[in-house]
Amino acid sequence: MSASGPARVCVVGIGNVLLGDDGFGPLVVEMFRSIYECDSKVEIRDLGTPGLDIAPYLYDADLVVLVDAVHAAADPGTLCIYCEDDLLSRRTQLRLTAHDPGVQQSLAQLRLAGHGPSELVIVGVVPESCGLGEGVSECVVKTCLDAVNRIARLLTERSIGCRRRDSPSPPNLWWLTGNCLAARPSHRASVEHPVSADA
């Protein structure tokens, strides 16, 4: 890594915004964008559920921060950080439950082709529920800011320009408005203004 930090950095959120806590990744990257300002070499993307289509975002990147819901033996809402070895090791068996050919396959293909990312970090949360159109659980919303700040730390530790905005720009959480929220059960938290909770 040069003194000026990596040349290409991707912060990508993965998950289906229509399926409750599965939308953690997109929610966190959108909040990250609204609270922090990064160098132009940092791409911040909500990738939805790309399956193998994640490959272009891993291709030749120096650092990829992947934000996703993760099934792990921990309480819902727990923030979990993994590195690429955890993802690929048999012991952890960190893996996708639905989009089988996803991150692991793309990574392995790109490594073999010589275009893998130099470093991959996974910022995950244990979901409470991934039901259709039910919004995000309170315990997961509470973890979002930790996740956002953790991403910022990951970048600054690697000399990648990333600083807190003087005033947050409003996040575009289009999927958490309208009847999607109206239909959510009472234990679901409001995430219309998650940023102000911390500010």
Partner 1 sequence: MTRVSIDPVTRIEGHLRIDVEVEGGSVQKAWASCTMWRGIETILRGRDAREGWVFAQRFCGVCTTVHAIASVRAVEDALALEIPANAQYIRNLILIAHALHDHIVHFYHLSILDWVDITTIPKADAARAATLADGFSAWPGNSRHKLEQVQTKVQGLIGSGQLGIFSHGYWGHPAMHLSPEMNLLFFAHYLEALDYQRKACQVVGILGGKTPHIQNMAVGGVMNAINLNSLATMNMDRLGTLQSIIEDLIPFVEQTYFVDTCLLAASYPEWFKYGRGVANYLAVPDLPLDAKATSFDLPGGVILNGNLGSVEPIQHWRDEKFRAAVAEDVTHAWYEGTGALPPWKGKTIPDYTDFQEGAKYTWVKAPRYNGHPMQVGPLANVLVGYESGHPLTRKWTDAAFTKISSVHGMKVTPEDMQSTMGRYLARGIRSAMLSDLALKHWQLLTANILTGDDTTYNLPQFPNHEISGVGMHEAPRGALSHWVVVEKGSFTNYQAVVPTTWNASPRDEKGVPGPYESSLIANPVAEPEKPLEVLRTVHSFDPCMACSCHTMDASGHEFAQVKVL
Residues near partner 1, by CB under 8 A: 14-19, 22, 45-53, 55-56, 59, 68-73, 80, 82, 86, 88, 91-105, 108-110, 112-115, 122, 124, 127, 130, 132-133, 174-175, 178-180
- As measured in angstroms, the least distance from the Cβ of 152 to partner 1 is 22
Task: Tell me the C-alpha distance between 96 and 129, whole Å.
Answer: 16
- As measured in angstroms, the least distance from the Cβ of 183 to partner 1 is 9
- As measured in angstroms, the least distance from the Cβ of 156 to partner 1 is 25
- Using CA atoms, how far residue 47 sits from 4, 94, 116, 140, 188, in Å, is 27, 19, 18, 19, 24
Task: Tell me the C-alpha distance between 92 and 87, whole Å.
Answer: 7
- As measured in angstroms, the least distance from the Cβ of 130 to partner 1 is 5
Indicate the residue among 6 and 124 with the shorter CB distance to partner 1.
Answer: 124
- As measured in angstroms, the least distance from the Cβ of 169 to partner 1 is 17
- Using CA atoms, how far residue 59 sits from 55, 103, 108, 199, in Å, is 6, 12, 11, 36
For 160-176, the DSSP string reads --EEE-SSPPPP--GGG
Indicate the residue among 114 and 170 with the shorter CB distance to partner 1.
Answer: 114
Task: Tell me the C-alpha distance between 162 and 11, whole Å.
Answer: 12
Indicate the residue among 38 and 181 with the shorter CB distance to partner 1.
Answer: 181
Indicate the residue among 87 and 189 with the shorter CB distance to partner 1.
Answer: 87
Helix (H) or strand (E) holding 45: strand 42-48
Indicate the residue among 53 and 198 with the shorter CB distance to partner 1.
Answer: 53
Residue 91 burial (10 A CB sphere; 0-12, 13-18, 19+): exposed
